[in-house]
Amino acid sequence: MKLRITFALIAITLLVATGCGSLPAKERAVTSLAATQSSLEVLQDAERRTCNPVAFDADATKPILTCEGALATTLQLTTAKHQAFASSMAKAYSLQRRAAIALQSWHPGQPAPAELVGLQSQAQDLLTFLNALAANENQKQLIAAGQALLTEIQKVIAAVKG
Amino acid sequence: MLPIYLTPQAIQLYGSTIVYLIQTGKLVGAEIAHAIRSIFRKHDPDLTDEQLDAIAHAIQDRAEVREALSLAEAGGAQ
């Protein structure tokens, strides 16, 4: 069984690696930016659900204004910290939105859109914030989501610089 | 680029492998979308500039919605 899983992982890795390597630069940049958007949303929703699972499960599309519950308490995620995190996320989405606009008129060989470097810096700030939370399993998951985000942004940057 | 086309049987095989890996927790988060995308990327020819612009525009819309939500949650921390 373990051998089959290993084989499947190797097969998928080869698929992904060959696919990414042979795609045109703009396609790699745009598809990676789409993955970046998904990573931003995954990270934000993980934080929002930790902040207030009841409110999040009731309607995830509505703003979560206060942190309540055991999850937030154990992570020392206060309402003030949640607001600071949301503020950082707003900046990241603003850069992401402007990067998406810039990529529409970008062509291979042109300089990388400046928003991407700003987005990378913003993602690093988000990771710093997550690292400052109380260390536990939830924090590890949030950090993993933050690192996945950073990886996706680096893929976009690599695509436009490649 | 030389496109590689997968047969429907191969897509089914890779698809069911991905489902299995998700169910067993071997494939998580962004890796799932990445793995699924890689299958269809092989099956379809390269995207046109118009299609790429449409995807970028959709990203722009999604980011805008999330930016507004984040600002509403940020309150006085903006």
Question: Which residue does chain B place closest to A82, by CA atoms?
Answer: B74
ipTM of the complex: 0.84
Full-model pTM: 0.73
Would you call A63 and B62 a contact, using CB atoms and an 8 Å cutoff? no
Mean model confidence pLDDT for chain A: 89
- Which chain A residues in 18-47 lie under 8 Å from chain B, judged by CB atoms? 18-20, 22-24, 26-27, 30-31, 33-35, 37-42, 44
Q: State how far the Cα of A107 lies from the Cα of A102, in Å rounded to an integer.
A: 10
Would you call B4 and A18 a contact, using CB atoms and an 8 Å cutoff? yes
Characterise B69 by phi-psi region: left (phi > 0), alpha (psi -120 to 50), beta (else): alpha
Chain B residues with CB-CB distance to A31 below 8 A: 37, 41, 55
DSSP at A118: H
Closest CA to B72 of A84, A64, A53, A39: A64
Q: Judge whether residue A94 has pLDDT over 70.
A: yes
Amino acid at A140: K
Residue with the bigger pLDDT between B40 and B30: it is B30
Tell me the shortest Cα–Cα distance from B8 to chain A, in angstroms: 16
Q: State how far the Cα of A70 lies from the Cα of A49, in Å rounded to an integer.
A: 12
Spell out the SS3 assignment of A22-74: HCCHHHHHHHHHHHHHHHHHHHHHHHHHHHCHHHHHHCCCCCCCCCCCHHHHH
Question: Which residue does chain A place closest to B47, by CA atoms?
Answer: A27
